[in-house]
Structure 1
Amino acid sequence: MASPQKTSRKAAGTRAAIRRARPASGRAHSGDAGDDIGLDALVGHAGYAVRRFQLWIFQDFIKTLATVDIRPTQYAVKNVIGANPGLSQMAVAKRLGIERARLVHLLDSLEERDFVSRIPSTIDRRSHALHLTTRGKAALAQFKRLAAEHERHVAEKIGKANREQLLRILACFT
């Protein structure tokens, strides 16, 4: 356990960092460059910090996988279908928390690229079983290699131990 003196210094350092990030008035300065704009209570909101981190994550993912033109949600869908061939569209949508209508559009684009095929279900005529095509399986292997590079960027940004801790914390949401 940290000594009271160390804890007090750490808290003072955190408060000083927050003050540097936020003008005393809590208002923006004229000629704002962005960092001068005070965040007030947002500094202490987990949701705000998570959203900003998510933006950084998505931007880096898109940049890292730009050569293959794949988006984070497309990557997630391909992974789930690859790991669970034959799932229905409804099951994929539910597992990933994607609106069914949005998933239909996403699957259309993956099908146009010959990554995914929809096969009429033998159990339910109203449903389709989703499978990766041969091209989709090869592409997913390439996407996974690039996504691993992206994850290395995350570790560089926040530290390897922090990345691992973040994954443990967020595991209850996956």
Structure 2
Amino acid sequence: MCVDRTLLPCMTSILDHKLRRAQLLVFQDFAGTFSKLRLRPAEFSVLAMIAKHPGQKQTTIAEGLGIKRANFVALMDSLERRGLAERRKGEHDRRSHSLHLTEEGTRFVEGMAQLWSEHEDRLVARLGGVENRERLIALLDKLLCGAAPLADDPDQPQAH
């Protein structure tokens, strides 16, 4: 079967292609910025959430970040081994764990925040300023609104 190539749009004009390329650029800058701290994006997110919401339940943070339970446990194990965060048994429910930064973790997050600011400043400059950053965030929020699949996907659970 022969495909009529005039019906295919130019690859550089396809939205998903542009979004993926932008994601790669942002992740490459993130990786370069945080390599000296040996920090991956998921670890960054977990530390940022713990810093913002100390004492939050492990399950709440995992769900908020969209991280599966098994993966989250491994992330927390790694952060605990590094002395950056700790799990504490719940006061009322000893089966649940609340998450906290250690003293070392608090210092680490302060340095992490400075590097994040530099990373964000580079991206904002590339976008042409804060106004464009705000516009991009608003557009991405529109795209993500509802977070439901845009097309029928047989592998995705259907809402009823």
TM-score band, normalised by shorter chain: 0.7 to 0.9
Name 2:81's counterpart in structure 1. Answer: 112
1:137 aligns with 2:106: yes
Query: Which residue number corresponds to residue 69 of structure 2?
Result: 100
Asked whether 1:162 is paired with 2:124, we answer no
- C-alpha distance after superposition, 1:124-170 (max 9, x if no partner): 22211100011101100100100111111112322213222112223
Who is 2:120 aligned against?
A: 151
The SS at the match of 1:125 is: coil
Is structure 2 residue 39 aligned with structure 1 residue 70?
Answer: yes
Change (3 A) 1:122 1:44: same
Between Structure 1 and Structure 2, whose CA radius of gyration is higher? 1
Aligned-residue offset at 1:50: 1.7
Cα gap change, 1:101 to 1:148, in 2 (>3 Å): same
TM-score, normalised to structure 2's length?
0.77
The alpha-carbon distance between structure 1 residues 89 and 41, as it changes in their structure 2 partners (threshold 3 A), is farther
1:5 counterpart residue number: none
Summarize deviations over 1:31-86 as a string: whole Å, max 9, x none: xxxxxxxx846444433322221111111011012211111211111111111111
Q: CA RMSD in A?
A: 2.2
Structure 2 alignment gaps of length 5 or more: 146-160
What amino acid sits opposite 2:137 in the alignment?
L
- In the alignment, the residues of structure 2 paired with residue 76 and residue 103 of structure 1 have an alpha-carbon distance, to the nearest angstrom, of 11
Between the two proteins, the alignment pairs up a number of residues equal to: 138
Q: Given the alignment of the two structures, is residue 83 of structure 1 paired with residue 34 of structure 2, yes or no?
A: no
TM normalised by structure 1 equals: 0.71
158-167 vs 76-85, greater mean Cα deviation: 158-167
Flag structure 1 segments of 5+ consecutive residues without an equivalent: 1-24, 27-38
